[in-house]
Amino acid sequence: MNNQQNPEAQSDFQQMKSQKNTILLIIISVIIGGVVLVGSGVGILAYRNVQKEAQEAKLAKEKSDEEKRELQRQRDVERKAAEEKRLKQEAEERERQEQLKREEEEKLKREEEEKLKREEAEKKRLQEEANKPKGLVSDVRMQADTRIIDGQFDAGFEVTGYVKNNGVSGGDIKIAAFLSCSEGEWIRIQHLYFRAGESMRLTYFFHEPTINATSCQARIVTSSP
């Protein structure tokens, strides 16, 4: 009976052992799978972290590049604005210099025109002066004399002299005869027409001074009317 039961017991034992081994293999597989799964999860997480860091690095680089480009654009704008300002200032300075040059040229032109006008006026004046009659006085004399004044004899002084037109043309000459003495000074004025080169002997009588007058002097001057 024992010999008959041993094979059955042995068979049960083998079956239980086989089941135990199977269970153990299952447990080991589960453990290995868990380890693999955990390892896979860690690897995935690490991979994702690497991807995230790479993405962040890429974004940071792109941001840095964009900031650099923006800074470069700002610098370009500033340089362009500075260049435009410089060109504008240079243009304004050129315009100012040209304006000053034009003003100086206009000033010189006006001065030249005024100079020419003055020269022309002076030339005209000299020409007119040359064409005017010119009285030349000579041989002025004075002597006591008497004349009938208001129907009565009156003592006085007679002044005589020669006046000649030394001009190139005829015209009126203003003649002024003066008599001065201790009792005062008197004048006779006359306007006469003289032809060119004509000479006249003129006489003027002064009845104002008395016979007691002393230091008497006479003169005749001429001028243009």
Question: What would the pLDDT profile of 17-52 be if each residue is shown by its tens digit?
Answer: 777 778 888 888 777 776 556 666 667 788 888 888
Task: State whether 139 and 118 are in the same domain.
Answer: no
Expressed as residue numbers, the domain containing 103 is 1-131
User: How many other β-carbons are positioned within 10 Å of the β-carbon of residue 161?
Assistant: 21
Average pLDDT over residues 183-200: 95
Task: State whether 175 and 83 are in the same domain.
Answer: no
d(Cα 116, Cα 105) in Å, to the nearest integer? 16
Task: State whether 163 and 107 are in the same domain.
Answer: no
Helix %, strand %, coil % of the chain (to 5): 60, 30, 15
d(Cα 89, Cα 97) in Å, to the nearest integer? 12
Last residue of a domain, one of 131, 160, 175: 131
Select the more confidently predicted residue: 55 or 10.
Answer: 55
d(Cα 145, Cα 204) in Å, to the nearest integer? 11
Query: How is residue 184 annotated by DSSP?
Result: E
Last residue of a domain, one of 70, 100, 131: 131
d(Cα 167, Cα 214) in Å, to the nearest integer? 37
d(Cα 125, Cα 131) in Å, to the nearest integer? 10
Count up the domains in the chain and report the number. Answer: 2
pLDDT for the residue numbered 186: 97
d(Cα 123, Cα 159) in Å, to the nearest integer? 38
168 is written with which tokens? 């190139």
| DSSP-assigned letters across all residues of 39-94 | HHHHHHHHHHHHHHHHHHHHHHHHHHHHHHHHHHHHHHHHHHHHHHHHHHHHHHHH
d(Cα 160, Cα 139) in Å, to the nearest integer? 8
- By residue count, the chain amounts to 225
DSSP 3-state of 220: strand
pLDDT for the residue numbered 5: 53
Task: State whether 116 and 150 are in the same domain.
Answer: no
Instruction: Express each pLDDT in 63-85 by its tens digit.
Output: 888 888 998 989 999 999 999 99
Task: State whether 111 and 14 are in the same domain.
Answer: yes
Task: State whether 102 and 177 are in the same domain.
Answer: no
pLDDT for the residue numbered 220: 97
Last residue of a domain, one of 63, 97, 131: 131
Select the more confidently predicted residue: 203 or 132.
Answer: 203
61 is written with which tokens? 């680089």
What value does the mean pLDDT of the chain take?
A: 87
Task: State whether 175 and 91 are in the same domain.
Answer: no
Among 161, 171, 162, which Cα is nearest to 131's? Answer: 171
Task: State whether 116 and 151 are in the same domain.
Answer: no
For the cut 70, the answer to whether the pLDDT of residue 1 exceeds it is no
